[in-house]
Amino acid sequence: MRRFVADKTRNLVRRASTCSPTCPVSPRPHHPPSLLSQPTSPPFSSSSPSHPSSITSPLRFLTAAALHPLSFPASPNSMASNYSTTPVTLQSVNPKVLKCEYAVRGEIVTLAQKLEQDLKQNPDSHPFDEVLALCDHPAILDRSETQGLFSADAIERAFQILDQIPGRATGAYSHSQGIKGLRETIAAGIAERDGFPADPNDIFLTDGASPAVHMMMQLLIRSEKDGILCPIPQYPLYSASIALHGGTLVPYYLDEATGWGLEISELKKQLETAKSNGVCVRALVVINPGNPTGQVLAEDNQCEIVEFCKNEGLVLLADEVYQENIYVPDKQFHSFKKVSRSMGYGEKNISLVSFQSVSKGYYGECGKRGGYMEVTGFSPEIREQIYKVASVNLCSNISGQILASLVMNPPKVGDESYESYTGEKDGILSSLAKRAKTLEDALNSLEGVTCNRAEGAMYLFPRIDLPHKAIKAAEAAKTAPDAFYARRLLDATGVVVVPGSGFGQVPGTWHFRCTILPQEDKIPAIVSRLTEFHKKFMDEFRD
Amino acid sequence: MRRFVADKTRNLVRRASTCSPTCPVSPRPHHPPSLLSQPTSPPFSSSSPSHPSSITSPLRFLTAAALHPLSFPASPNSMASNYSTTPVTLQSVNPKVLKCEYAVRGEIVTLAQKLEQDLKQNPDSHPFDEVLALCDHPAILDRSETQGLFSADAIERAFQILDQIPGRATGAYSHSQGIKGLRETIAAGIAERDGFPADPNDIFLTDGASPAVHMMMQLLIRSEKDGILCPIPQYPLYSASIALHGGTLVPYYLDEATGWGLEISELKKQLETAKSNGVCVRALVVINPGNPTGQVLAEDNQCEIVEFCKNEGLVLLADEVYQENIYVPDKQFHSFKKVSRSMGYGEKNISLVSFQSVSKGYYGECGKRGGYMEVTGFSPEIREQIYKVASVNLCSNISGQILASLVMNPPKVGDESYESYTGEKDGILSSLAKRAKTLEDALNSLEGVTCNRAEGAMYLFPRIDLPHKAIKAAEAAKTAPDAFYARRLLDATGVVVVPGSGFGQVPGTWHFRCTILPQEDKIPAIVSRLTEFHKKFMDEFRD
């Protein structure tokens, strides 16, 4: 009774998936109370009547952003004094919390969040959505109407997944590492990807990759004397998590001149410097493909990194969430697990954690909060500690767990959904590649701007040589020069980018991160506005 | 086009919801590798062929449990030495992680998890599941087949919710506090519950209540010199979170003799003791209804607690996740927000955080990881810090967010689902009340056992006067006497309870926590097995 030949409903599904023209205006972006008083609001925010649908506005694009991310000026005393009798003040709050910064959320966070949804408008990933809906409400699985609404393989997959869930429902707690059957699916997907076995017991399913990163930081950081080697520029989750857990970020610089190359000599130098400062370095974070830098590591380079971690006794924390996002034919994704196993290194030789997420790739299901970490090369007693920390939050959400298993085991040849799935996937990835190239070329044509190619991930991180006068003006405005540029760009065009200072950069250089997510047909307008703004800016501040 | 008159499909839905007899055997419970070697496995684990469906086995019941929770003996050296070259050892792991304990997850965690699903087998909460499924796959919303599968109000609600989500999809990141429209719904639900206004900006949606508790601990705890007043017995999330964040748990004892009463004199005494030890007490945790103790606070008592927090400058952390679970006619739930507002205390007078979850109540949708905290009485600058910490994990999962809004705004009179919804809700809650009473009576009939009534929550926490010989035997077995009893109970009957030592108890007293979740028709068998075991145990160890 479980197999049906479903109607060919995909056209209808596809039709329904694109945002309809009657799609209502999203509500006014919410800010915490004190943010409402920010003097400058973006000119084309969703509440602007001239741009009823913020999502389709060509002017609001590029990347999730915050100017002066999360370092708001303290509220005026008059406001603070109203709360003078409350028990928690800036003086009595955990200083680790104060210290933590998070560049990709903050002042204009709602703007940023909507932009991320540009990706969501196209991809759809219908087989995934279908399976999730069926698992949420399994009562409809064997109803005849369901055959008209869902593809046969989605129905079959929902049956399979529900078979794996004790109680056949998504509403119960799972094992703290995630549902065993789903971890088996994921492990099989990893083994297929890498050509080396993977163990379901090594998989910890998490609400996105972020909690997994926090978990590892919690495990490793005992005090400010413990250091974590992090790339600069880096995704600010790492700096935020290290700050929250009270450790020391030990920076290593990626070499912009060689396409954001990761040099072992730089790792060694920074490790030695940290040691001489009394810092015990515990782990190395590598983001591959890079965020915000977009580079894809060469396999040889990865071998060197593995060797370095092995020799120095460092845990290798491999952020591999962009593993599906590669846009250049001369680069491929190789997981660090595959690389280390290819080198002959096993469980006992290298401590390696690989982070994966359902928020990236061609699927971009960030709101589902699905992800996992694969934990290898830790002793059983340490594994127990990781398991214990995982168990304190009971388990990750089951829909996210299911989605993680779908991402690692997508429709196969012969499945009814296969054709539409590959069509959508290839369409999204090739479109992202085109967008990356167009934006890269446009950025490189600007005066004083150089931009490495986006080999992977979803970002470009151009360098901008700002005129001396602009730097002075930024100083006068008490802001970083790249933040000054980004703010001017936002004010003039509605374009949102994240200043490089939120990610870290070689002192005296200035960058910004922009995503490659704007819809393809919006990019020409974006480029022309950016170009126009940039010319005016450079003219205004020309030395 | 949005409103349909749906077919009366509820009977079919209801039929499909109960676990079918062909429901497959759940896979063998997974343990981290080192746990597989535990010498004793539960006699009726799901892998036992004589009990093909672990969920329906009458022998596996009572509560989520761990004997010696998470305090496994260190692995033998021979095993550890294989990993001697790996960078993280018990000596170099974060000691806060080692210190953290979590009594309700651990050695026999899979057993425990399956038991929680007993609740899941009955409740269903169909209107909720329907809405979630429709939101996950909105492509089917305006298809005619959908009318046959979903109730009209579920379809309408899904439209309403999707209207509130920018991009009309559950796959995008939301605002870090959660989707504004859903927070508005929740705030309206709180206002209706309390009779006092609630502000959507005060709501932080989280992946269950646990991350919200961690967030507040992170905010408050600067070092081991910061203390948090916690009830003893307490739900071990609090002790675990305080340990992970490096603070000091300041215990206050609930008075078993007065039905787990919360005495202000005890709070004052413990506060003074902590102060004299140099501990700065930052907050008071109150769990109402109580976990594991099941008491419901009287309103007068709550007023005293508010007054105490206000006078002592403590943040009141109100765990109110069992607010729907009240089983006695003489008690009602009053939120601390309502109580403090009734006393005339507002934003500026009392710092109050209320935690709520979709995992409890009559819905029990724990796998969805939905929950929120309502944060009131903090200055704008501290609110920004809370917001920043929330933003480091980007946002909670959207399905959980939706579910939290549904729980705070369930079907209303006139909705198609209303009748079935109230029928199910009342049925579940009255059944839980009956189960609580039956188990309470049974426990009180046992020699040396006294059990306060379960006024609320989902637990009984009986006290057991163990014979001197049993205590000696436990000592010889290097285990706590209540853990010894619980282990014997498990071995003899398959019944799982959590020893009181995992929750804390007055030294020299012994308890265990059992849930009231076993299905009603299973309870007589449970009672008779428990009674039989207890008699034998007492005879064996009679002094």
CB < 8 Å from B in window 92-131 of A: 92-98, 100-102, 105-106, 109-110, 113-114, 116-117, 120-121, 125-126, 129-130
Confidence (pLDDT) at B151: 86
CA distance B271 to chain A (A): 15
Strand order in the sheet with B352-357: B203-206, B371-376, B352-357, B315-319, B280-287, B226-232, B248-253
Closest CA to A135 of A345, A389, A401: A401
The number of helix segments (H) and strand segments (E) in chain A equals 19, 12
CA distance A524 to chain B (A): 23
Average pLDDT over residues B111-117: 45
CA distance B345 to chain A (A): 12
Q: Which of A141-150, A460-469, B196-205, B271-280 has the least mean pLDDT?
A: A141-150
Q: Identify all chain B residues contacting A237, using CB atoms and an 8 Å cutoff.
A: 392
> What are the CA-CA distances from residue B214 to residues A537, A542, B208, B220, B386 (Å)?
45, 50, 11, 10, 11
Residue A72 CB coordination number (10 Å): 18
Q: Cβ–Cβ of A55/B109 closer than 8 Å? A: no
pLDDT at position A247 over 70? yes
pTM of the entire predicted model: 0.81
Q: Which residues contact B99 (CB under 8 A, 6 or more apart)?
A: B243
pLDDT digits (tens, 9 = 90+) for B399-445: 999 999 999 999 889 888 888 889 989 988 999 999 999 999 999 99
- The one-character DSSP state at A506 is S
Q: Cβ–Cβ of B86/A13 closer than 8 Å? A: no
pLDDT at position A56 over 50? no
Are residues A231 and A290 in contact, defined by beta-carbon separation less than 8 angstroms?
yes
Measured on CA atoms in the order B76, B81, B83, B88, is the torsion positive or negative? positive
Structure token digits, residue A207: 């609400």
Residue B450 CB coordination number (10 Å): 14
Find, in chain A, the residue whose alpha carbon is nearest to that of B313. Answer: A87
CA distance B37 to chain A (A): 12
- Furthest CA-CA distance within chain A: 77
Q: Identify all chain B residues contacting A382, using CB atoms and an 8 Å cutoff.
A: 83, 86, 88-90, 93
CB of A393 within 8 Å of a chain B CB? The answer is yes
* Separation of alpha carbons B542 and A233, rounded Å: 69
Residue B389 CB coordination number (10 Å): 24
Q: Cβ–Cβ of A365/B82 closer than 8 Å? A: no
User: CB contacts < 8 Å between A and B, how many?
Assistant: 446
Highest mean pLDDT: which of A10-19, A133-142, A203-212? A203-212
Distance of CA A166 to the CA centre of its chain: 31
CB of B314 within 8 Å of a chain A CB? The answer is yes
Find, in chain A, the residue whose alpha carbon is nearest to that of B212. Answer: A393
β-strand pairing of B280-287 with B315-319: parallel
CB of A394 within 8 Å of a chain B CB? The answer is yes
Closest CA to A34 of B229, B201, B22: B201
Measured on CA atoms in the order B486, B488, B493, B494, is the torsion positive or negative? positive
Q: A interface mutation test: which of B173, B223, B229, B378 has the most A CBs within 10 A?
A: B173
CA distance B205 to chain A (A): 13
Are residues A162 and A138 in contact, defined by beta-carbon separation less than 8 angstroms?
yes
Are residues B164 and B152 in contact, defined by beta-carbon separation less than 8 angstroms?
no
Closest CA to A294 of A511, A136, A144, A45: A511
Torsion angle defined by CA atoms of residues A88, A92, A95 and A98, in that order, rounded to the nearest 10 degrees: 40
Strands of A343-387, DSSP E:
352-357, 371-376
Confidence (pLDDT) at B9: 29
CB of B359 within 8 Å of a chain A CB? The answer is yes
Q: Write the single-letter amino acid at A115.
A: L
Are residues B486 and B499 in contact, defined by beta-carbon separation less than 8 angstroms?
yes
User: Alpha helix (H) ranges present in B445-508?
Assistant: 468-476, 481-493
CB of B482 within 8 Å of a chain A CB? The answer is no
Are residues A234 and A504 in contact, defined by beta-carbon separation less than 8 angstroms?
yes
Q: Which of A38-52, A120-134, A495-509, B230-244 has the least mean pLDDT?
A: A38-52
> What are the CA-CA distances from residue A444 to residues A436, A495, A528, B482 (Å)?
12, 18, 13, 71
CA distance A454 to chain B (A): 23
Residue A3: is it exposed, middle or buried by C-beta count within 10 angstroms (0-12/13-18/19+)? exposed
Q: DSSP string of A272-290?
A: HHHHHTT-EEEEEEEESS-
CB of A82 within 8 Å of a chain B CB? The answer is yes
Residue in B171, B222, B396 nearest the CB of A364: B171
Confidence (pLDDT) at A501: 86
Q: Which residues contact B212 (CB under 8 A, 6 or more apart)?
A: B204, B206, B353, B355, B371, B372, B373
Residue in A163, A183, A395 nearest the CB of B24: A163
pLDDT at position A118 over 80? no
pLDDT digits (tens, 9 = 90+) for A476-516: 999 899 989 988 998 888 888 888 988 999 999 999 999 88
* Separation of alpha carbons B515 and B190, rounded Å: 28
Q: Cβ–Cβ of A105/B138 closer than 8 Å? A: no
Whole-angstrom Cα Rg for chain A = 24
* Separation of alpha carbons A408 and A410, rounded Å: 6
Residue in A87, A379, A382 nearest the CB of B313: A87
* Separation of alpha carbons A91 and B349, rounded Å: 19
Confidence (pLDDT) at A363: 87
Q: Identify all chain A residues contacting B32, using CB atoms and an 8 Å cutoff.
A: 177, 201, 380, 383-384, 387
Residue in A94, A136, A172 nearest the CB of B116: A172
CA distance A150 to chain B (A): 9
* Separation of alpha carbons A173 and B364, rounded Å: 10
CB of A241 within 8 Å of a chain B CB? The answer is yes
Q: Which of A476-485, B65-74, B76-85, B508-517 has the least mean pLDDT?
A: B65-74
Q: Which residues contact A328 (CB under 8 A, 6 or more apart)?
A: A296, A433, A453, A455, A456
Q: Identify all chain B residues contacting A126, using CB atoms and an 8 Å cutoff.
A: 139
Find, in chain B, the residue whose alpha carbon is nearest to that of A282. Answer: B87
With bands split at pLDDT 50, 70 and 90, how would you rate the model's confidence at A98? low
Highest mean pLDDT: which of A94-98, A255-259, A340-344, B453-457? A340-344
Computed over every residue of chain B, the mean pLDDT equals 80
Residue in A145, A208, A380 nearest the CB of B145: A145
pLDDT at position B56 over 60? no
Torsion angle defined by CA atoms of residues B25, B113, B296 and B127, in that order, rounded to the nearest 10 degrees: -60
pLDDT at position A94 over 90? no
Q: DSSP string of B101-114?
A: --TTSSTTHHHHHH
* Separation of alpha carbons A535 and A218, rounded Å: 47
3-class state of residue B318 by DSSP: strand
Confidence (pLDDT) at A48: 29
> What are the CA-CA distances from residue B37 to residues A30, B202, B410, B414 (Å)?
52, 48, 47, 57
- The one-character DSSP state at A358 is S
Structure token digits, residue A519: 């819809």
Average pLDDT over residues B483-512: 89
Q: What percent of chain A has pLDDT over 70?
A: 77
Closest CA to B205 of B177, B181, B185, B184: B177
Helix (H) or strand (E) holding B460, with range, is strand B459-460
Confidence (pLDDT) at A67: 25
Residue in B117, B172, B315 nearest the CB of A120: B172
Q: B interface mutation test: which of A25, A207, A515 has the most B CBs within 10 A?
A: A207
Computed over every residue of chain A, the mean pLDDT equals 80
Confidence (pLDDT) at B86: 65
Average pLDDT over residues A404-422: 90
Which is more confident, A126 or B344?
Answer: B344
**B197 upstream amide cis, omega within 30 of 0:** no
Which is more confident, A497 or A340?
Answer: A340
CA distance A168 to chain B (A): 8
Q: Cβ–Cβ of A102/B392 closer than 8 Å? A: yes
**B42 upstream amide cis, omega within 30 of 0:** no
Q: Which of B7-16, B188-197, B365-374 has the least mean pLDDT?
A: B7-16
Residue in B74, B163, B367 nearest the CB of A173: B367
β-strand pairing of B226-232 with B203-206: unpaired
ipTM of the complex: 0.78
Task: Give the number of residues written for chain B.
Answer: 543
Q: Cβ–Cβ of B172/A201 closer than 8 Å? A: no
pLDDT digits (tens, 9 = 90+) for B333-387: 999 999 999 999 999 899 999 999 999 988 888 889 999 999 999 998 888 889 9
Q: Identify all chain A residues contacting B220, using CB atoms and an 8 Å cutoff.
A: 88, 93-94
CA distance A465 to chain B (A): 30
Task: Report phi then psi at B371, rounded to 5.
Answer: 175, 175
Find, in chain B, the residue whose alpha carbon is nearest to that of A146. Answer: B145
Q: Cβ–Cβ of A16/B385 closer than 8 Å? A: no
Q: Cβ–Cβ of A173/B365 closer than 8 Å? A: no
Q: What percent of chain A has pLDDT over 90?
A: 49
Beta bridge pairs of residue A227: A248, A281
Strands of B335-455, DSSP E:
352-357, 371-376, 449-450
Strands of B19-97, DSSP E:
none
Q: Which of A142-156, B123-137, B368-382 has the least mean pLDDT?
A: B123-137
Q: How many CA atoms lie within 13 A of A30 on its CB side?
A: 23
Residue B194 CB coordination number (10 Å): 18
